[in-house]
Each structure stands twice: as C-alpha cells, then as structure tokens.
Amino acid sequence: MYHLIDVVGSPTRFLLVAGVALVLGALLARVLHPGLATVIGVGLFGAGLVWYVTNLATNPSFDVLLADTVELLTGRRLLQIANVRLWVTSFAAAPVFLTTYFALRRWYVMAVFVAGLTLSFFVLTTDASVVTTLLGVVGGVAGIGFGTLDSVANEGRATTSGADPPPTVTDADDGIDAGRRSVLAQLAAVIVLPTVVSRIPGVEGTALSLLSGASGTVEGSLVDAGDSLTVQGSLSLSDVHRFTIEAEEPSYWRVGAYDRYTGDGWVRTGNASEYDDGEYLGDGPATETRKLVQTVEVESDIGTVPAAWKPVRYEGDSDVLVTRHDGLQPESGLESGDSYRVESARIEATEEDLRAAGDDYPDDVTGTHVQLPESTPDRVAATTDTLTENAETPYQTALIIERWLKRNRGYSLDVSRPRRNVADRFLHAMSEGYCTYFATTMAVMLRTQDIPARMTVGYTPGDAVGSGRWEVRGLHSHAWVEMYVENWGWVQFDPTPAGPRQAAEQQRLDEDGDGGTNQETLTETGTTPTPTPTPTETPEPGETPTPTPPPIRTRPPDATRTDERTVTPAGTDDGNQLPGVPSREEAALGVVALLGTAAGLRRLGVPERVSRGLWLRYQSPETPAEDVETAFQRTMYVLAERHRERRPGETVRAYLDAVDADEDVRRLAGLRERLRYGGSVSAEAAEEAIDIADTVVAER
Amino acid sequence: MTDTTASRQSDSALRDASRLATGVIENVEAVIVGHHDAIEHIVTALLGRGHILLEDVPGVGKTMLARSVAASVDGEFKRVQFTPDLLPTDVTGVNVYNQKTQEFEFRPGPIFANVVLGDEINRAPPKTQSALLEAMEEGQVSADGTTREMPQPFTVIATQNTVERHKAYDLPMAELDRFMTKLRLGYPDADEETAMLGEVVGNHPIDALEPVATLAELQAARQAVAEVTVEEPVRAYATRLAAHTREHARLGVSPRGSINLLRAAQARAVLSGRDYVIPGDLQTEAPVVLPHRVRTDNSDQPAEELVAAALDRVAVE
C-alpha cells in the first residue's frame, strides 16, 4: 500500500527507511518484549512526526497542522500535501516496524490491526483506491485466518510432538487444511460478492457499488472534479447552460489547475487561502500585461469561478478562495443568478519573447510541476526527446508537442480508459481521445523535458451571442495545458484538435435540436478562430525556426512507432480497445478470488453434485456386475432423496421394508444382493436392473 | 463378483437341508410353546456345527427345549446333570479293569453321544467343565493318555442357571467362547403360557415326539450349510463387526467368534432357502453369537447392548 509514494518519484529513501524498519522488526521480533516493541513503534512514529515538522520548509503553527490532519481524515487526498515524499518517509517506519514485529511473533491479530490502522488512514484520505483497499482487507482477513490456523497448527504440533500417535497429527492437519480452504472461500466471497452486488442493476451507481459509473460527462470529469481529477473512459457532453460571460475578447475560461500527476489522474496540492473582495493579486512575473475585465452571470449552479488567466481581482456575490496556483475557487458553490466580475492580467508577450525564454525557473514552480511518477515508462521521455530534438527553447518544445498531438491523435469521446499511466498509453497505444488525454499527455511530455507544466481545466469561450457576450454550456468544458515560460509565467497551450472537438460539441447540440438560434450561433463560433484565445498560440505560418515538424499532411519522420495510428481519427478498431493487462493488485485479487471460488465450490460440493446428476441420469452398460451395482446405487440415491438415507448398520432389506419400497425396487435389490453376496448375475438381470433404475430415476 | 469362495452345490442338497431345518423347527414347536426365535437359533447352531448354551432362571423350559431338539434327530441322546461333586471321568468315561479279560477297558461317559444335554453346567467345578469343553472344541476326549474321537455329528446343548450364583462356578470366558450361541429364553407371554399349561397338564407332548431326521440327513445338511457362499463383502462386514467390539470393549469378539458368526449365518441362509449369506443373516445371528464373547469396559453396560450398537453403527455394504 505504500507504493503510492511512487507518484512523487525517487522512492529510494522511502524504501531505505521501510527496509530498515522491516529488518529491525524482524530482528527484534525474536528478542524483544512486546510492550517494549510497542513503545519503540510509538517512538518511531513520534520521531517521524518531529522530523517531518522540523523539515517542513514553511513553519506552520500547531493548530494548522492539526487542522490539516483533520482534513486528511475527512477525505483530503494525501497527494495534496505539498511534500508527500517527506511525509511518507517520516511516517512509514512505525507501521512497517510494528507490523513486521507482530507478524513474526505470530501475533497476527495485532499485526493486522496495525496494518489495518494504516490502511484505514489511507482510506480516509481517499488515497487508497477500491482495489487497494480490497486487497488490504483481503490481506488482513487472510492474515488473521491463516495466521490463527498457523498458530493452531503449531500448538497442535507442540502438544502432539511427544510420543503421540500419528493419526492425531493427520487429523489436526486435515482440520487445518479444511480451515484453510474455508478461509480461502471466505476471501473469495469478500472479493466476489461486492462485485456481483455492484453488477445488480438497481445497485449500480449507489453507495454499494464498487464500479465507478460507466460514463459521465466531460464537464463532470473535469470542471467539477474538485481537488483531484481522474482520467475517465467514455464521456458524453451536456448542454446545460452554465453561465454567460461578458468580456472584451473571448478567452479560455479557466477553472483550475492540477500540478501533481499520479499516472491515472491529477491532484491539486496545497491549500487554498482566503481572499477579500477587491484584493489585488500579483501579476506574476510578466512585465507586460493587458487588463481583461469579465462579468459573469451564473445560469445554473456551478462550483467554480471561471475566469481568464491570470485573475488579479475579483468582486462578486459569493466569497472565493485563492488556490496555491493563483486560481479562484468559491468557498461554497455559485448559485444560478449570482454574478461576479473578474479582472485578469493577460500576458502581452510577442512570439519572439516567448521563443527566446530560457529555462531558469523559480524553485516554487519546479517543485511539483516537473515531477512525474516513478512508474512513468522511460519511453515517454524517449519519444518526446526524439520529437523535440530540434527545439532550442522550452517554448519551441511545447509548440512541437502541441502540434504533433493535434495532428497525430484523433478526437473521440468514446474511449476505454487505460489502466495504467494515461500519458504513456495515449502516446504509445491509443489513437484517439479527448481533451483530458491530450492535455495530460502534453503536460507529461513537457515534464519529461524538465519544463514545468500543469493540467488546466475550464471552459472554451462558448457561443457568441452579440458582441462581447458569450454563452457557456456544459459541453464547452475543456482541458488544456499551462506551461511556465521564464519571465512570463504560465502560458496556455491546447493540444486538442479544435475542429473535431467543436464538431462533437455541435453534434451534441444538433441532436437535441435546441432551436435555430443556438445552431446558428454555434456555427458562428465554429468558424471564429477560437482555438487561439491567448497570444501563445499564434498561427502556424510563423514557425520557421522549428523545422522538425514538417508541413501538414506528412508524418513526422521520427514518430515511427506511432505511424500506423496517426491517420484515422475516427477509427475505433485499433489496438487501444483491447482490455489492458490488469494491475498487480487486480491480478492478486483475481488469483485469490479464483482459488477461493474453487475452494468454495468444492466446499459446497458443486463438482460432486454435477457429476452425481450426470451419473444418476446416464448409465452406459459396462459389465453386468457393474451395471447391477450402478443401477442399484442410482435407485438407492433416489430412495434416499425421497425417504431417507439408509443407516449404516441397516441392511438393504430392512431399509426397503422401512421405506416401504415397491416390488421393482425389491426385485432390483434382490438382483444386487445375489450379485454381491451370491457372486452371480446374468446379462438379462443386468438389463432388467438398468431398466428398473431408469424407471425409478425418471419418476423422481 | 467372479470369485466364489465356496463351490456351488446342487440345489437339491440345499433344499434338503432347508427342509430338515424346517422339519426340526416344526417338530420342536409341537412341544415348546413360543420361543420361536430361540428354536431357530438352536437349529441354526445345530446345522452350523456349533454348541448351544441356554441361560436363564429355572423352570422356563431350557431342558425341555434341549430335549425336544435332541429328540427330533434320530441319534444318540445323553443327558448329564452337572453337580458340584461331578468328576471329569463321570463325563468323559473311565478305564475299568475287566476281570475276565484281565485288561483295562474304556467305559465311555455320557459325552459319547450325538446330542449331549449338559444340565446346569455351571454347578460343576471347573475341572469337570473343562472335560466337557475339550470334547466340544476338539471333537475328541483324552482319558488316561488315550485320545478318543467323538461320534459325528456331536452337539452339546448346555443349560446354565442364573440364580444362586454363589453356588455356581461361572464359566470362564475362554470356555464360553466355545459355545456358538448363548440364548436366553425368558418367560413366555401370558397367552403362550396359558396355551402351554393347557398342553402339558395331560400327557406331556415330548413323550410323543418322533425324530424327523436321521443322523445321515443331519450330516448332509451340515455339509450343505458349510458350502453356503460367503462373499467378500459379508466376510468384511463380519470383520468390521468384530473390530468394532474390540475397539469398544475390554475384550472383543475373537476370530473364533467371527468364524462362528459366519457359520451360524450360513445356517441361517439355508433356513431362508438361500445358497449365499447376506449381511442380514449376520445381523440375525450376531445377538446370540457375539455377546458372550465380549466383556465390556463398564460392568453396567451389558455386552448385548454393545453388540446391538455395533450392528447399528457398522456400515453394511
């Protein structure tokens, strides 16, 4: 469960600490008194705490720490802590030590208790995914179950180790084997039952369900995602009217940014701070800016404050917070009818300025913005290297990546979510996706070049209604990338092909047939050059210094690996639709589920029942002797079902008398008696026996 | 089931044996009112080459039953009344000096007969009892260093009194083991007793009893019984029964007990007109063949109960 550390990279130190704790626990398990060990464990925890606090860059007061802890326990993700690496390294030692110690001392319940405590912490912070939690719980149950059996077995051996007869031992072993099987079956039930329950139609989507909803809307997955965002599978577009914005020029209405990439999603680190109406936020590093004033009327409830980048002043009906990334965030949601005014400082940089910018980034920018999960495959960096080898500055790199993605990946809302690293899959296996995939991939690619980049979500300008007025709907939600340019700050890039996306949006509107006005306006927007809301995305002709991306319609020479997939944006029959290889946790759970199901079935006697049913119904002639015996056993089975089983000490005759069997059965019993005890049977008798048995079974 | 242990015998021999058994039973029942099961058991023992021990309180017809069985067979019948002062030679016979021939000659005791009724066998001292028991088991008698064969067929029907225990020498287990069956008669039903009283107030019917079988017929019947098939499942069942008693009692059924059980079962099969033994035969005979060979752990638990439990629990296959 600790491998979440992987997200923040370079887990060496963490592994070292955990390893030392593990070895320590293992060594001390033999010699140390439990009480003392608990003290040491608590001591380790305390030491980790002190170390964490003293190593924090900022020096928070005690109550802030306390508040943070409470927030963590009420669902805040651990990855939102700015310095996750430090946190995990500080706190890993104690649980690892205690768990190892107790497990080796055969105090399985205590060991599982400690591990479970840790796990529940992760569950509360929502860092543990369903699968991880399930695996943890299954592991815990297995630990207790098998552990207890192990103890019992040991005690059994200890008590019978003397001059006791071997039968006792084998009996005990048999019992333990049965116990193991039953534990296994229970584990399978733990895994399988919730899954099955989730599949029941009425349950899906309720709290009982383990399966996340099959498809949501783009808006739901992006804009309403809150502090963390998971890349989804297939999505649809919603046409709910969100807000109307009045501004001098269109822009991407930005809602928020995410800085920590987890492989399958994004997390926003850091706390939001309070903001007083009208307070002026800094312009950022850019020296030349242009003021853009937007007035927004909220048309339906939203939990965000859309505004053009970079907001510097806010006045409105509800209070807002400022995120660590200078974004605005309402304290509570905005209601329909609310309105606000945002002043944004837009960067007034020329193409040359941006192109010339170097790679000298401030420390607070590089921190989480260039970090990638340790599990990110090297080929992401390799592919990006190849693509951008001719770029001289970070800005050129970004332009190349942006254009490459636009040209080589199709737009589709109907994709199956990759199981692992989204960026890697989108870059190397998938042929199409939607804005989240484009933006994620571009951000990750930039980061492989050590360029600070982050994932940004919000809305596209929307439908123009009159001059300086735009209607923004749910279907305009979008994701793009912000890259930090030296001396200028965060600059926006949109790697998603604009044409197909707008087509999709329009199609969505057409489907509803919302009325002529909408369609008309949409057509207008479709033709307006909205894909370049910020000066960063200047038209392509001016791209002479980057010769690598060749003219349109020729494939990039270096992207050999993706060549075949570059052409068809509409094709869905590519390799990307294959289900991905399951993760290790899922595989482990699957194996346990399989084994357990097998054990459970065996416990329930399903195989026996099936073979019995077959045996009962179909008798193929063998030798007369076998025929008679089988026919007899079939009949007895039916009689046992109908009346009662023959008691062990009861002779067949007594039994038949007791159940008042009919003549045929008695005749069959007589044949069998003669065969079994008299040693003779004829072929005719065998046939007769089978006939009788068939009749009896048929009457069943 | 291809291996047959006993050779197939002709149907006629089996029928004859069956008819003989039925004849004897009917004959005895002319005299003895009730006790049908006991009579059958006695006949099966007779055909199964076994000896019978009747145990009960005085006056329930033990001796009468034995006498009527003996009278049904046309053989030599002797009766020995065991008393505390009875000597072994009184049973087996003695060498006496013949003045005329100037030689010792053997004067056979009452045991030299086809059917011997040993009345109140537990009244005699162990030495005398053992003289009888050697004859029963070995089919021979040793006197003064000479061993003499017993006549064939040879069956001992002994009775034993269960009252006045202090005046009796209880048979040791080793000797009890030599009786194939040990029966308790018990008191007759009220109806049966009434009927019996009606019969015996005049001339006792036993005086009119005629033999229904010759010695040769009895021998042939015994031979037929001995050839009745005992298949492996039945033998295994007998073994399991014996094993069960050995596991649950201080002294379980001996191999001799198992042999006797199978022999009795063979006779029982003939009685039912079958030429093979079924487990049911064993179950019928076990309650009289096995208990006297078992000594339970707990004196409160009768051996009969243990045998009944064994029959209940040991699986019939």
Site from B228, B270, B276 to mutate, A interface, most A CB atoms within 10 angstroms? B276
Residue of B nearest to A628 (CA): B1
The answer to whether the bond into A310 is cis (omega within 30° of 0) is: yes
What's residue A390's pLDDT? 81
Interchain contact, A675 vs B1, CB within 8 Å: yes
Nearest CA in chain B to A629: B1
Of A283 and B231, more confident:
B231
Between residues A539 and B100, which one has the greater pLDDT?
A: B100
Please provide the distance, in angstroms rounded to a whole number, between the alpha carbons at the two ends of chain B.
Answer: 14
Structure tokens at A262: 């987890």
What pLDDT was estimated at residue A545? 39
> Which helix H or strand E contains B297, and what residues bound it?
none
Q: What pLDDT does A632 receive?
A: 85
Interface residue B311 vs chain A (CB under 8 A): yes
Mean pLDDT in chain B?
Answer: 82
User: Cβ of A584: how many Cβ atoms within 10 Å?
Assistant: 11
Condensed to tens digits (0 to 9), the pLDDT of residues B160-183 reads: 877 776 677 777 787 788 888 888
Alpha carbons A538 and A542: distance in angstroms, whole number: 8
Q: Give just the sign of the alpha carbon dihedral A288, A292, A293, A299.
A: negative
Residues of B in contact with A678 (CB under 8 A): 229, 231, 274-276
Q: Is the preceding omega at residue B153 within 30 degrees of 0, hence cis?
A: yes
Show residues of chain A in contact with B313, CB under 8 Å: 648-649
Which of A632, A672, A673, A677 to mutate: most B Cβ within 10 Å? A677
Amino acid A211: pLDDT: 40
Please report, for residues A21, A248, A341, B175, the alpha-carbon distance to residue A244 in angstroms, rounded to integers and kept in the order given: 57, 13, 12, 116
pLDDT < 50 regions, chain A = 1-10, 157-171, 202-215, 513-580
Are the C-beta atoms of A17 and A135 separated by less than 8 Å?
no
Show Cβ contacts of residue B146 under 8 Å, excluding neighbours closer than 6 positions.
B106
Start-end of H helices in A79-129: 84-104, 108-124
Q: Which of A673, A683, A686, A693 is nearest to A631 (CA)?
A: A693
Q: Does A676 touch chain B (CB under 8 A)?
A: yes
Residue type, B28: V
**Per DSSP, what are the bridge partners of residue A216?**
A235
A651–B277 CB contact, under 8 Å: no
Q: What is the distance in angstroms between the Cα of A129 and the nearest Cα belonging to chain B? A: 56
Residue of chain B with shortest Cα separation from A653 = B280
> B45, B51 in Cβ contact below 8 A?
yes
Q: What stretches of A232-286 adopt beta strand conformation (E)?
A: 235-236, 241-246, 253-258, 260-261, 265-267, 273-274
* Short-list A366, A400, A361, CA closest to A383: A400
Q: Which residues from chain A sit within 8 angstroms of residue B4, using beta carbons? A: 679-680
pLDDT above 90 as % of chain B: 0
* CA dist., res. A252 & res. A325, Å (int): 17
Q: Is A666 on the interface with B (CB under 8 A)?
A: no
Say if A167 is an interface residue toward chain B (CB within 8 Å).
no
**Residue A428: which of A580, A222, A230, A265 has the closest Cα?**
A580
- Our measurement of the distance from residue A595's CA atom to the centroid of its chain's CA atoms, rounded to an integer in Å, reads 24
Helix or strand (DSSP H, E) at B214: strand B213-214
User: In angstroms, rounded to a whole number, what is the distance separating the alpha carbons of residues A81 and A68?
Assistant: 9
Q: Is A681 an interface residue toward B (CB < 8 Å)?
A: yes
d(CA A462, CA A252): 9
Crossing angle (nearest 10°) for helices A624-642 and A652-659: 40
Query: Which pTM value belongs to this model?
Result: 0.47
What are the two backbone dihedrals, phi and then psi, of residue B112, each rounded to the nearest 5 degrees? -80, 85
Chain B residues within an 8 Å CB radius of A625 = 1-2
Where is average pLDDT lowest: A688-697, B8-17, B279-288? Answer: B8-17
Cβ-nearest to B276 among A646, A649, A677: A677
What is the average per-residue pLDDT within B85-91?
85
Q: Are A580 and A415 in contact (CB under 8 A)?
A: no
Partner residue facing B229 (CB), from A652, A654, A679: A679
**Contact between chains at B233 and A677 (C-beta distance less than 8 A):** yes
d(CA A515, CA A355): 45
Is the per-residue pLDDT at B52 higher than 50? yes
Mutate to test the interface with B, among A651, A653, A666 (most CBs of B within 10 A): A651
B279 touches chain A (CB under 8 A): yes
pLDDT, residue A216, reads 58
CA distances from B212 to A22, A334, A687, B15, B64 (A): 96, 118, 44, 15, 17
Choose among B231, B283, B315: nearest Cβ to A648.
B315
SS3 assignment for A443-481: HHHHHHCCCCEEEEEEECCCEECCCCEEEEEHHHEEEEE
| CB nearest to A678's CB, from B276, B310, B316 | B276
Please judge whether A676 and B2 are an interchain contact, meaning their C-beta atoms are less than 8 angstroms apart: no
Roughly how many angstroms between the first and final C-alpha of chain A, as a whole number?
55
DSSP symbols for A18-59:
HHHHHHHHHHHHHH--HHHHHHHHHHHHHHHHHHHHHH-SS-
Q: Do A679 and B276 touch (CB under 8 A)?
A: yes
Which residues of chain B make contact with A650, given a CB cutoff of 8 A?
316
Tokens of A322: 């400022």
Residue A373: predicted pLDDT: 76
Contact A482, A472 (CB under 8 A): no
